[in-house]
Structure formats: structure tokens, C-alpha cells
């Protein structure tokens, strides 16, 4: 079989499978579960690089394969998946589709640029990366759950939808904006994981309240049509 098979890519594949399941949930209308899968994919992505670096005898081909497979999975998990989720949530107007398309293109550009620069960096130094250029594409796995959590305090679902449009557009722009984004420390990662975990639990436990707002919005939309 082609490919490289070892423990360094297992977490990346788990992240991909989680996002594929999340797409199924989104298409079926099980949006809180879809957001859970997105957050879980983000959790896996936080640690796949650390796990890969524990193998000290990786060949250059294995390292290059790891970079490519990580980016290919990232565009599915944090590029295509949020687009499907956004569309299912109501981003279906012409301007909404343009925002989603921009988000997808920006994500692809960011990952392609990262691959080029990361291969160049690894050929020059063996030090761990301390900064990213632009916002990491995995950021949506944190932003979307937090947006879901705070949306329960909005007076209506329309406010959530407005915030979702702004978030998708802004995050897409930050993907390709040339600025330095410091990698979080292990302590900051733990705090981030805890915050997202609380957000996801809140979504799953309070989904009836959120779901009522969503369904009311859909009914009003259908009546308006």
C-alpha cells in the first residue's frame, strides 16, 4: 500500500473522521452534534504535531508526508466542514455564499503557503515553530463552539446568523493577512481546551433552548417566503 503508516498520523485521521461524521450530522440537521465534532477535530489537531515530534527517527519523506496529510485533512475539517455547517445554519443568500466561498479559498491559500514555508523552514532548522503567519485554519474549531455558546443569550436566532456571517468573513481574511500569530504554550492549550469543552457541553446540554430559537427562525423564514 502507498503512504506512510505509523502512530504519528493516527490523530490526524481521527480528526478527519470526526469532521466527516460532523458533516453527516450537519446535513441531517443535528447541528449541536456537528459543532461537537468540529470542536473534537480541533482538539485532535492541537496535539497531532506534538505526537509526530515524539518520533525522532522520521525520514525526510515521512516528515513531508506528515505536512501534506495534515494540511489535506485540515482543509476538510476546518475549511469544507465549517462551510457546510454555515450553509445549514442559514448562510444561503447570495452574499452568504460569497462569504463562504471566500472563506474556502482563503483557507486553501493559507494551507498551501504554510506547506511551502514549512518545508523551507524544516530544511533550514530543526527548531520548533514559535509563530504562525496569519491565523491558523483550526481557529474555527474554537470560534464556532464559542459563538454557539454565547448565542443562547441573544434575543433571537437572527443575531447569531449576523455574527456567523461576520465571523466567517473575518476569519477568512485573517487566514491570508500577513501577521505573526504566536503559538500557544502548553498551559494556554490546556486553558483553551477547557474553555472549548465547557462551550461544547453547554451546547449539548442546552441544545433544546438553542434549537427552539433555530426552529422558530426557520418557521418565520418559511412563512416569509
Distance CA(61)–CA(194), nearest Å, equals 35
Confidence grade of residue 14 (pLDDT, cut at 50, 70, 90): very high
Question: Does residue 169 sit within a domain?
Answer: yes
In a domain, 125, yes or no: yes
Contacts (Cβ under 8 Å, ≥6 apart) of 118: 67, 129
Q: Is the pLDDT of residue 37 over 90?
A: yes
- Neighbour tally for 68: CB within 10 Å: 13
200 or 20, higher pLDDT = 20
The lowest-confidence range among 29-33, 133-137, 140-144, 164-168 is: 29-33
Whether 2 is in a domain gets the answer no
If you average pLDDT over residues 34-50, what whole number do you get?
A: 86
Number of domains in the chain: 1
- 86 band by pLDDT with thresholds 50, 70 and 90: very high
The whole domain housing 21 covers 7-224
Q: What is the pTM of this model?
A: 0.87
CATH of the domain at 39: 1.20.120
Q: What is the pLDDT of residues 107-160, one digit of tens each?
A: 999 999 988 887 776 666 666 677 788 899 999 999 998 888 887 777 777 888
pLDDT at res. 1 = 82
* pLDDT value at residue 74: 93
Higher pLDDT, residue 21 or 212:
21
Amino acid at each position: 500500500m502507498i503512504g506512510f503508516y505509523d502512530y504519528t498520523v493516527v490523530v490526524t485521521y481521527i480528526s478527519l473522521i470526526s469532521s466527516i461524521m460532523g458533516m453527516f450530522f450537519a446535513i441531517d440537521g443535528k447541528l449541536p452534534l456537528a459543532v461537537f465534532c468540529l470542536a473534537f477535530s480541533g482538539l485532535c489537531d492541537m496535539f497531532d504535531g506534538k505526537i509526530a515530534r515524539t518520533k525522532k527517527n522520521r525520514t525526510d519523506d515521512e516528515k513531508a508526508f506528515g505536512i501534506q496529510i495534515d494540511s489535506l485533512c485540515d482543509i476538510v475539517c476546518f475549511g469544507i466542514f465549517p462551510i457546510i455547517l454555515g450553509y445549514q445554519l442559514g448562510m444561503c443568500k447570495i452574499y452568504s455564499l460569497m462569504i463562504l466561498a471566500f472563506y474556502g479559498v482563503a483557507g486553501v491559500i493559507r494551507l498551501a503557503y504554510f506547506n511551502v514555508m514549512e518545508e523551507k523552514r524544516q530544511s533550514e532548522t530543526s527548531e520548533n515553530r514559535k509563530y504562525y503567519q496569519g491565523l491558523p485554519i483550526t481557529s474555527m474549531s474554537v470560534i464556532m463552539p464559542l459563538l454557539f455558546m454565547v448565542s443562547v443569550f441573544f434575543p433571537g436566532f437572527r443575531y447569531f446568523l449576523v455574527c456567523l456571517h461576520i465571523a466567517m468573513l473575518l476569519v477568512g481574511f485573517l487566514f491570508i493577512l500577513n501577521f505573526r500569530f504566536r503559538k500557544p504554550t502548553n498551559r494556554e492549550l490546556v486553558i483553551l481546551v477547557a474553555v472549548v469543552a465547557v462551550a461544547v457541553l453547554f451546547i449539548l446540554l442546552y441544545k433544546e433552548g438553542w434549537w427552539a430559537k433555530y426552529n422558530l427562525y426557520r418557521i418565520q423564514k418559511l412563512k416569509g417566503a
